[in-house]
Amino acid sequence: MPRRFAEISFTDSVKAQQARYGSREMYHRFELAENSGDVLTEKEIEFIAARDSFYQATVAENGYPYVQFKGGATGFLKVLDSKTLAYGDVRGNRQYISLGNLAVNNRVSLILLDYPNRRRLKVWAQASVIEAEQNPALMLKLQTAGQIVERAIVMTLEAYDWNCPKNITPRFTEQEIQDIFLVPLQSRLSFLEQENQHLKTKLNLV
């Protein structure tokens, strides 16, 4: 667990609960960790590039959190550099809840999941909203699958943490099922059919 994660997450009230339930001593050492965890490495960059969705949390001025599912083409969440993430905001149901929340509190938290391999990356960042007319080149960079990007959400990384795989149920997309299960099965079936045909020919059964 990186140091910056502990600095952000372990508030006084959290520390009080850790002390109450006996985990404060264990978690205190993470506050002294050498790894700051506020600069993305190749491991995080590759993981992010392979995702086709994530969950994003923002907080409204009334104090209520709002969690939004974001999905798109694989890699639609871009790593602009080791401290900056961005994605193109395309038209949805036009409720603009996340945008409204960001207007009063620019802090965001993301959870990215790799269900088949049971991996989970948590990200804390400060976000800025850039309208399309402010930076057309950036909109083009963030555009995927022919969708029109109305604005960019650019996030400056504050911290990240790899979460444990416990209780992550493996799930697979249609493409993952095809690649992981069906392709090898079809290949094996083709081989057996050829072998069967060869044996029939050899035994004069055809």
Sheet (strand 119-131) strand order: 65-71, 53-59, 107-114, 119-131, 149-163, 84-90, 78-81
The whole-number pLDDT of residue 74 equals: 92
* Co-location of 86 and 123 in the same domain: yes
Using one digit for the tens of pLDDT, what is the confidence trace for 190-199? 887 888 887 8
Per residue in 22-77, pLDDT (tens digit) is 999 999 988 888 888 899 999 999 999 999 999 999 999 999 999 999 999 999 99
Please indicate, yes or no, whether residues 58 and 157 belong to a single structural domain of this protein.
yes
Q: For the chain, what's the residue count?
A: 206
Tell me: do 99 and 188 sit in the same domain.
no
Residues 6+ apart with CB under 8 A from 21: none
Q: Which domain holds residue 176?
A: 172-206
Domain count, the chain: 3
Angle among Cα 156, 160, 162 to the nearest 5 degrees reads: 155
Residues 63 and 52 in one domain: yes
In this structure, are 1 and 80 located in the same domain?
no
